A = this chain, B = another copy of it.
Amino acid sequence: MRASDRAYAALRDDITEWRLLPGTVLGEVEQSQRLGVSRTPLREALGRLTAEGLTTTAGGRGVVVTAVSLEDIDELFELRETLERRAAALAAERGDSAVFLQLQKELLEAPALIDGTDTGRHAYYELAGRLDAAIDAAASNSYLAQAIRGLRVHLVRVRRLAADDARRLTAAAAEHAAIAEAIAGRNPRLAEAATTLHLHRSLSHVKNTHTPHDKEHHG
């Protein structure tokens, strides 16, 4: 694995896991020493993060970790709804029913996996990720898929703000199952509606459990 890839992955994880808080300035020498790479691959990593919007160049003062305000979350979900509704509708038109029937089946059985432990939560995230990937593949629009990928990195950061307890995860599984069912049934409008419902509930959950988190400058 390339040094720039390792630096990128490490920084991205540090940011999405809120170990590097918004406002933190990422000095090139400091971070390159911390991650054990030279400045060249580190700069490449910072460039990627900035292109994704996880960091921003503060005009000569180095790159800083971007904040995620309440307003950002609203905007994020506004775009997410636009993109994922379309992806779900396209998947319903173009997808293979068998794939989504199988996913629906697994999602209906998901509550058995969700036991409140980290293992259970991780197992569910993996399953939800498989549904996302299946929808992207079925929509078969590489530009749409890329736009959604660009959003996801922000969404995992937001997800870390919310307390994903067993109750919310169980409800989310049912919502996901409804999406899979609509796609398997080749019903684009229903797939859009199910997606809207899921995202609305997801956003409500985030905003309800979102304790006014510190987003001020670090250090």
Contact = CB atoms under 8 A, between A and B. Distances in A.
A79 B147 contact: yes
A90 B86 CA distance: 17
Copies per assembly: 2
A143 B53 CA distance: 9
Nearest to A83: B82
A116 interface: no
A76 interface: yes
Main secondary structure of the interface of A (DSSP, over half): helix
Contact of A47 (B44, B53, B141): B44
A78 B48 contact: no
A185 B161 CA distance: 39
B78 A146 contact: no
27 contacts: A40-B40, A43-B44, A47-B47, A47-B48, A48-B51, A51-B51, A53-B143, A53-B146, A72-B142, A72-B143, A75-B142, A75-B143, A75-B144, A78-B86, A78-B141, A78-B143, A78-B144, A79-B86, A79-B141, A79-B144, A82-B82, A82-B86, A82-B144, A143-B151, A143-B154, A147-B147, A150-B150
Given A72-B143, A75-B141, A79-B147, 19 more contacts: A43-B44, A44-B44, A47-B47, A48-B51, A53-B143, A75-B142, A75-B143, A75-B144, A78-B86, A78-B141, A78-B143, A78-B144, A79-B86, A82-B82, A82-B86, A82-B144, A143-B151, A143-B154, A147-B147
